Amino acid sequence: MQYLEIHIKDIVPEKRDWVFAYLPSFGFSQFEELETDVKAYAASTDANLEALKEWMKDQSLSFEISTIQETNWNASWEANFQPVEIPEKILVRADFHPAKKNVIYDIIITPKMSFGTGHHATTKMMMEAMLEIDFTGKKVLDFGTGTGILAILAEKMGASEVLAIDNDQWSYENASENLRHNETRKITVELKDQLNGLGLFDIVLANINKNILTDHASGLSALLNRNGILILSGLLSFDYEDICLKYDPLFGPNFKQIQESGWMALAFKR
């Protein structure tokens, strides 16, 4: 499969958040943040390239678009992928990195083209929020699982059953591979894009983007048992009011907020 890389150069700080907010609507959902630039990736079959080019021109952004193969992507991340650590709690590493003895949860991830390595603020905030919740014996849904990183952490934290779903074939295959690397026993991964018919859960994890979270607010609420917990991310800080307009009527005010680098994670209790 071929992928597209868009390299956006010299982004002024006030436009960076807009780039992250709007690129998913053109099919670009994987990001690499550089000091002054941003790179984003999409499967060539998912990208709305003409609309993206028009939007970039309207925003007066300088960019280059190139085509990359899976093999080139894999070589790139292997050369640059560094372990991510939440000190004394979580280590996210590739299988060629050594394990550490001073962490509670050791997670092996081979990310390839799937989202969720722990490097991006949204994944890291999701993990931080999860650390404050008791997963023991809980039934968990990971909606938009990407690499499967959050599902894997949920099992390691004691979940009795985890369903991980994604609508992207590559993410489904990659998550399945990562489940094997971590020798999981309680996670089922499925290729799905709908929430109906999944049953009820004690905890739902959803690290996607504002548009999907807004569209699926009622569906996510309906999946939770009484006193169930929903953790959301993929949100920019300025999305807060829009998300609350959708989720507060269903849950009441959020009980947890985490912010980092202009991004936000929120936790709600039913």
On whether the CB atoms of residues 169 and 193 are closer than 8 A, the answer is: no
In sequence order, what are the beta bridge partners of 40?
Answer: 6, 31
* Count of other CB atoms within 10 angstroms of residue 124: 22
Domain C-terminal end among 23, 47, 76: 76
- Written as six digits, the tokens of 262 are 């202009």
Q: Confirm whether 159 is domain-assigned.
A: yes
Count how many domains the chain has: 2
| Most confident of the following: 18-22, 123-127, 139-143 | 139-143
Host domain of residue 58 = 2-76
Residues contacting 35, CB < 8 A, separation 6+: none
- % of the chain surpassing 90 pLDDT: 55
The whole-number average pLDDT for the span 100-125 is: 80
DSSP 23: G
The per-residue pLDDT of the chain, averaged, comes to: 89
Rounded CA-CA distance 96/77 in Å is 12
Q: Are residues 149 and 224 in the same domain?
A: yes
Tell how strand 256-260 and strand 224-236 pair up: unpaired
User: Which strand (E) or helix (H) includes residue 215?
Assistant: helix 210-215
Tell how strand 201-207 and strand 224-236 pair up: parallel
Q: Are residues 12 and 139 in the same domain?
A: no
Q: Are residues 70 and 120 in the same domain?
A: no
Q: Confirm whether 87 is domain-assigned.
A: no
Calculate helix-pair angle for 169-181, 149-156, nearest 10 degrees: 30
Instruction: Read off the pLDDT of residues 148-175 as tens digits, 9 standing for 90 and up.
Output: 999 999 999 999 999 999 988 878 988 9
Tell how strand 263-269 and strand 256-260 pair up: antiparallel
Cα 95 to chain centroid distance, Å, stands at 20
